[in-house]
Structure 1
Amino acid sequence: MTTANTTRFNAEALSWDTNPSVQLATALAHKAYLARLPPPPTLSTYNVLDLGCGTGLLSLALAPSVRSVTAVDAAEGMIAALESKLSSSSPDNNTAGTVKNVRAVHALLTDPSDPCLATDPVTGHPQQGRRFDLVVSHLVLHHIPSLLPLFQTIHGCLAPGGRVMVTDFEDFGPDARKFHPEGKMDGVERHGVERGAMRALLEGAGFVDVKVETAFEMAKQVETEPGSGVVGPVVVFPFLICEGRRV
């Protein structure tokens, strides 16, 4: 993730959760993940890595269904917001003091063996060579300059048989650019992801059983004119879910 991204997300961290589109997209992604994952008791054993977790909306949604979530983000402000939610000294949210299986990590992850991943959120103890049953990432791919190294890192973070599931809006043509206001294009590397390209990326990173399909659609108000700052028209954005398994 670029400096432009971390600067922007640090600045927006405190207000991030007040954006209705952020909340809706996360809720729909969470539903899409659960529909494709095994039910309890199998899912209850999963150790999950959430890359680009932001303020932890998806991490906290997944937490009741899995054993643990390691939530990683390169923006210190986003991780501080998540840590505030996890802290018992933060009385202004419903998660305070109740979530015991999520660990917030401030890092730009490029190495599956990075020590920042070693600590088990449940026990608090380090585990050398710790690997995950599932890696998720939501609305992150369009901010990453080069996606193949990311998926190679994800592949390395998974235990044998582990799965990746990532969601982002689809590049469905010129209107995909409207997902972001023109004033927030810093750090946007692509206007959505393409089905064929995502399949090739996952296979190129070593994944098998690759699937790329529409996860959901989300209506979002966009600018009346590029750069106007005035929102009005509604565009329906398709979101892709991209899956693969490590042998």
Structure 2
Amino acid sequence: MSVFDELAKNWDEKPLRVENARRIGQGIIDNIPVDKNWKVMDFGAGTGLLTFYIQPYVKEIDAIDNSKGMLEVLQEKVRKAGVSNINPVFKDLEKDELGSEEYDLVVSSMTLHHIKDVESLLRKLKKSLKEGGYIAIADLEEEEGDFHSDNKGVYHFGFSKEKMRGYFEKLGFKDIRLFTVNIINKNNKEYPVFLAIGRK
């Protein structure tokens, strides 16, 4: 059982977390020409805070996570909301393969710092995008390792915008844009969150 399985039940009760997903979602909608015919992947979807924000604007979303507990909460939210275009998918993207050229848009919120090999995951995500498709990844800007109270399963203390741009450029993404989309106030500190957008 992962630590996220245990956290899942109360995950949506933190206003900071809900507000962060809302700002990231709005940042995506405002900066990408999202279309009602699009198929989207939200990786590290958790309980679907970002998934639900994007859902009204697109045709279908595969909400992928490697925590069964998180996906159970998401499944229940989908059922209660009577939404038919969200597909919760149990998959470990670090180990499992993805299809090719399936998605018009890949999004992710606050997941990348839990991924060991960022470049190989981004390569996999790029492969899953259709030609001309977009990627939009939000995560913490570089921090000192005190954002999480416990750093188990945290492989990066955020990312500088330069480092993130470097990954996108190396993988050949075009129209790259990076900007601060939110600032989380906790531990008497400010933690900026970036949104990195690129196009295949």
After TM superposition, is the score higher than 0.5? yes
Q: Distance in 1 between matches of 2:128 and 2:136?
A: 13
Q: Distance in 1 between matches of 2:197 and 2:170?
A: 13
Partner of 2:68: 76
| Cα displacement string for residues 45-93 of structure 1 (whole angstroms, at most 9, x for unaligned residues) | 2211000000111111111111111100011111111111122xxxxxx
2:168 aligns to what SS in structure 1? Answer: helix
Contact residue 101 and residue 131 of structure 2 kept, 8 A: no
Partner of 2:129: 158
Spell out the pairing of 1:25-104 with structure 2 (5 A cutoff). Answer: 25-38=20-33, 43-87=35-79, 96-104=80-88
Contact residue 219 and residue 236 of structure 1 kept, 8 A: yes
Bigger Cα Rg: 1
1:179 to 147, 155, 165: 147
Q: Normalised by the size of structure 1, how large is the TM-score?
A: 0.76
- Mind listing any 5+ residue stretches in structure 2 that lack a counterpart? none
After superposition, the Cα gap between the structure-2 partners of 1:58 and 1:10, relative to the gap in structure 1 and judged at 3 Å, is same
Q: Distance in 2 between matches of 1:242 and 1:86?
A: 27
Spell out the pairing of 1:69-218 with structure 2 (5 A cutoff). Answer: 69-87=61-79, 96-109=80-93, 110-113=96-99, 131-171=102-142, 173-174=143-144, 177-181=145-149, 184-218=150-184
- The residue type paired with residue 13 of structure 1 is A
Percent sequence identity over aligned pairs: 29
- Mind listing any 5+ residue stretches in structure 1 that lack a counterpart? 1-5, 88-95, 114-128, 223-233
Q: Distance in 1 between matches of 2:190 and 2:22?
A: 16
Q: Normalised by the size of structure 2, how large is the TM-score?
A: 0.93
**How many residue pairs get matched?**
198
| Cα displacement string for residues 149-201 of structure 1 (whole angstroms, at most 9, x for unaligned residues) | 11001101100000000001100x53xx22111xx210111111111111111
- The residue type paired with residue 120 of structure 2 is P
Partner of 1:236: 190
Q: Distance in 2 between matches of 1:217 and 1:45?
A: 32
How far residue 130 of structure 1 moved from its aligned partner, in angstroms, is 5.9
| Cα displacement string for residues 195-237 of structure 1 (whole angstroms, at most 9, x for unaligned residues) | 11111111222312222222222222x1xxxxxxxxxxx2121
Q: Distance in 2 between matches of 1:208 and 1:31?
A: 21
CA RMSD of aligned residues (A): 1.5
How far residue 97 of structure 1 moved from its aligned partner, in angstroms, is 4.6
